[in-house]
Amino acid sequence: MIEEKIYEFKNHGDYRGELVALEYPKDLPFPVKRIYYIYNVPENITRGFHSHNELQQILICLGGSVKIKLKTPEDEKIVLLDNPNKGLFVDKMIWREMFEFSENATLLVLASMEYDENDYIRNYDDYEKSYWEKKNK
Ligand code: T46
């Protein structure tokens, strides 16, 4: 079973607008080593199609909305991100696809590791093999 772990961030907003502050370990499960964001995604584009050996991430949709498919050989979940107060934890060894980006969507990602292409599993058959190997260890 894939656990759908959503972090509900504290909002310090007042009449001047909203403010969310994220600190490790108070609000986040790992110290953030890298931040990136995805935006201006054209209609009908799906991104992702990979898993990670070790990387853990939190996905936050700062504006607009996007759907995230989380998948393993045993389970599949689709999560709608449409609120900057919420962060979706995506664990290592979970296949992910990001789709249905709204026109103005900005997806912010907090990552537990620096960028390392060797940590990616971009072929689904390799992912499936590695998933069962790790699970049956
Ligand atoms: C993930 C999902 C949610 C870098 O040079 N540094 C980086 O930190 C990242 C994330 C990417 N890149 C390069 C590698 C590729 O040449 O940017 C290009 C696009 O990356 P990619 O095709 O992997 O993008 P997505 O949107 O398919 O996946 C990204 C992350 O790569 C991935 O870790 O979990 O967002």
Instruction: Give the Cα separation of 130 and 16 in Å (integer).
Output: 49
What local confidence, expressed as pLDDT, does residue 54 receive?
A: 98
What local confidence, expressed as pLDDT, does residue 117 receive?
A: 98
Select from 36, 71, 119 the residue to mutate for testing ligand 1; criterion: most ligand atoms less than 8 Å from CB: 36
Which residues are designated catalytic? 50
- Residue-wise pLDDT for 84-113, tens only, equals 999 999 999 999 999 999 999 999 999 999
Residue 10 Cα to ligand 1 middle (Å): 28
What local confidence, expressed as pLDDT, does residue 48 receive?
A: 98
What local confidence, expressed as pLDDT, does residue 135 receive?
A: 95
Weakly modelled stretches of the chain, pLDDT under 50:
none
Residue 69 Cα to ligand 1 middle (Å): 16
34 in contact with ligand 1, CB cutoff 6 A: yes
- In 3D space, the residue among 50, 38, 39, 37 whose CA is nearest the CA of residue 116 turns out to be 50
